[in-house]
Chains A and B, each alone.
Chain A
Amino acid sequence: MLEEALRHFINPYYIQVLTLLGIYIVAAIGLHLITGVTGQLSFGHAAFLGIGAYTAAICTMQLGVPYLLALLAAGVMAALAGVLVGFPSLRLTGDYLGIATLGFGEIVRVIFTNLEITGGARGLAGIPRKTDIVIVYLAVVLTIWAVYRLQKSRYGRALAAVREDEIAAECMGVNSLWYKVSAFAIGSFIAGVAGGLYAHFLQYLNPVDFGFARSFEILTFVVLGGLGSLPGVILGTTVLGLAPEILRFGAVYRMMLYGVLMVLVMIFRPQGLLGGLNLAQVWRRIVRGGRPRVPAA
């Protein structure tokens, strides 16, 4: 309905690109909560996206569940998987957790390839088209709002404390296991919902789309934008999500340019595009005409 109206103003192809971008933003915010805010390295985020996508698709196609309820189910299934992955974070830290999540992601992909109900390696086709650009951007706004509120809350400060120094956080009475596991659960829930949106947008799912390449792609969105910065994640996803379209002039060399872009951004902004910036402060400085703020003596 609303999308029909939009089609008069924007090229339908761009509507497609922007819809997919919105879905990626939601998924990336899920990882932002896990890796950016809580500091738990995850190389298997695409698995949660995949679990959500297949759950939602199976719900609507085989069980006749209404679309919105299917999205919720997708989130819940992904969250359960997130809890499963979150528990080893008690013993595994840093790179080792990343490696374990990488293994988890690949196992999930292989399982999708082998199960009957997911259509195996042929993939799952004929999913009804329910997602449109309006629903996606509603989800984007809702996710940004929810995660923003979460980060500003007591809970969010505890997550940041676990990221900065787990032992110190424990000493201050923060139960780090609970926060790590619940961050995994919430981040995976968000990714699962993104997966549900994805399934009902593309109408076709293939296990290959949820392998580690996709996981790294989402991780790149989060890191390149600025690890730990919510506006950074949105910017990073937008820049890299649109890059293949913008780089189209490069024809076959497009993905080579994409790789070069990743290296260059990291070399010149190792903290990410918006990493280490407080946007509110930057804004105030612009409003005040570029004068640095003098602290009161």
Chain B
Amino acid sequence: MTWQMMLQQVINGVTLGSTYALIALGYTMVYGIIQLINFAHGEVYMIGAFVGLTAVLVFKANIFVALLAAMVVCIPLAVSIERVAYRPLRRAPRLAPIISAIGVSIFLQTLMLIIKGPQPVGFPPVVANTLYYIGPVRISLVQIIILVTASVLMLGLQLIVKRTRIGKAMRATSEDYDTASLMGINVNRVISFTFGLGAALAGAGGVLVGIYFNSVFPLMGVMAGLKAFCAAVVGGIGSIPGAMLGGIFLGVAEVFGVAAGFDTYKDAIAFGLLILVLLVRPTGLLGQPIQKKV
């Protein structure tokens, strides 16, 4: 592989990876606060993609309106999922909310299969098919939009988490749930807010991926969700920069794996990396080591 090709693959990988990162952030924030693997998150992403598609097809929206519509619809969806299926299980045994999450995920998948049918739907051309050349490297307008949108959203997230009152409450709750509630933080509100924030990012990710791969279908959240979840774990679950790093790392690795001729093993690359990282650093690249207490 020449270095021009390498550079090209890095661009493709970072583009793919930043969509993984958008989804991974939702997993990592929720896990950081209530230690729940939210298996319904991939379905929120899928529904975001469908909302964006509907906005474009029916309301002739442009890409930014479609992104906004998906984010706005996904927030109440995720907040209600949390309210109905997870909140009653806050003090239940560890596996109960996971099973509940899988139930929600099956429900949403079937719902969309009934409404939309199993066939992938193509995205109408909302973005001009323009290619830009930076030296030997080719970058499409879609890729630029994905990279810019993802960066803006992640920057916004950082600002919310680091600079606002509710962000401070989120950090406190993820540090210590019980103490946070003793300090007068409305933990339920923080949790709802976290779900909403994660869902908005996932919804945007859904629209971006739908446009990038030109296909939206009811089961698209399954593999994407699992891989994004891997990204969150690889980066260190509970860590927001970790999710971004993990997503991009995974995206680049996958693209290079395919370029190296392992395309039939594409789906295994993410999981192989996951296991490798876990064996070397059991809590991920940027995760805090777990203290064993006796």
Contacts and interface: CB of A to CB of B under 8 A. Distances in A.
Given A96-B282, A212-B226, A266 B233 contact: no
Given A227-B93, A263-B85, A100 B274 contact: yes
Interface residues of B, number: 47
Contacts, number: 127
Contacts of B265: 110, 114
A113 interface: yes
Given A219-B99, A256-B107, A271 B93 contact: yes
A263 B292 contact: no
Given A110-B268, A212-B226, A92 B278 contact: yes
A106 B84 CA distance: 30
Contact of A256 (B110, B271, B272): B110
Contacts of B111: 256
Nearest to A254: B110
Contacts of B144: none
Nearest to B274: A103
Given A106-B267, A167-B292, A262-B102, A99 B274 contact: yes
Contacts of A95: 35, 37, 94
A104 interface: yes
A223 B271 contact: no
Given A255-B106, A259-B107, A271-B93, A224 B275 contact: no
B134 interface: no
B89 interface: yes
A56 B235 CA distance: 39
A34 B105 CA distance: 25
Contacts of A102: 226, 271
A216 B268 CA distance: 18
A266 B267 contact: no
A167 B89 CA distance: 27
Main secondary structure of the interface of A (DSSP, over half): helix
A262 B84 CA distance: 13
A249 interface: no
B110 to A, nearest CB: 4
A40 to B, nearest CB: 12
A219 B100 CA distance: 12
A252 B111 CA distance: 9
Contacts of A255: 106-107, 109-110
Contacts of A220: 99, 102
B275 A104 contact: yes
Interface string B111-134: 100100000000000000000000
B96 A266 contact: yes
Interface of B: 35, 37, 39, 84-85, 88-89, 92-100, 102-111, 114, 222, 226, 229-230, 233, 264-265, 267-268, 271-272, 274-275, 278-279, 282-283, 290, 292, 294
